[in-house]
Homo-oligomer: A and B are copies of this chain.
């Protein structure tokens, strides 16, 4: 049976999503280990987004084909009983044979959290980047609009990105702020949706907007970076710990309809 998993994780203690040759702990490896125990043979779990080391997920999506037939509830409980408490399968659903978490995805949404106080709260230190200098959310919001639409993202991705096509469509970019009662401080959040993300693209957008918020960059730099692909015009790549994969987008019902069992 082909299965769709929804997964949450605190990426702090993982070397990212993807199984590493070096044997480091990864989310994919954690899930595949549990499923191999349950299935009695090796299985491959395909994730929608191969998040980097330290990046978190509220609702990562993965697909996996299993030999045995499982009730979704039992499978969820069985996997969760065999993985660390920093990763949880929050949903299991039977999917059509044609569903593949990555290839069927139409887009993703990432969020970047910044804790903007003189101190970094122990309650958000695992999930938020710390910026002690005051950020102008208004300026970040204005400049963020420049990222919307179809652009070549060469200036906002890893130089080592092995892809040929660096054109992506950013469909939404919002900069918000809220007060965290628990952390006792202001949190600035940058949400960005696109039909796809190059490596480091979300963190590079966040880093550039942080430079804008501190008054160190502005419209000109962003427009020129987008036009020329010059990495020197983009801000530094913001640290992984502030980034969370929030949602993977599929066409409505697609994963059910794709040859659903």
A186 adjacent to chain B (CB < 8 Å): no
- Interface members, chain A 116-136 (any B CB < 8 Å): 117-123, 125, 127
In the bound complex, residues from chain B placing their C-beta under 8 Å from that of A184 are 8, 58-59, 90
B125 with A86: CB separation less than 8 A: yes
A32 adjacent to chain B (CB < 8 Å): no
Q: Which of B10, B76, B120, B122 has a CB less than 8 Å from the CB of A122? A: B10
**Total copies of the chain:** 2
> Given A58-B182, A182-B58, do A10 and B88 touch, yes or no (CB 8 Å)?
no
A119 with B88: CB separation less than 8 A: yes
Q: How far is the CB of A169 from chain B (nearest CB, A)?
A: 25
A88 with B58: CB separation less than 8 A: no
- Interface members, chain A 197-242 (any B CB < 8 Å): none
Residue among A8, A89, A120 with the most chain B CB within 10 A? A8
Q: How far is the CB of A189 from chain B (nearest CB, A)?
A: 10
Interface string of A76-109 (1 = CB under 8 A from B): 1000100001111110000000000000000000
- Interface members, chain A 124-152 (any B CB < 8 Å): 125, 127
A9 adjacent to chain B (CB < 8 Å): yes
Q: Which of B85, B120, B121, B127 has a CB less than 8 Å from the CB of A120? A: B85
B122 with A8: CB separation less than 8 A: yes
In the bound complex, residues from chain B placing their C-beta under 8 Å from that of A76 are 118-119
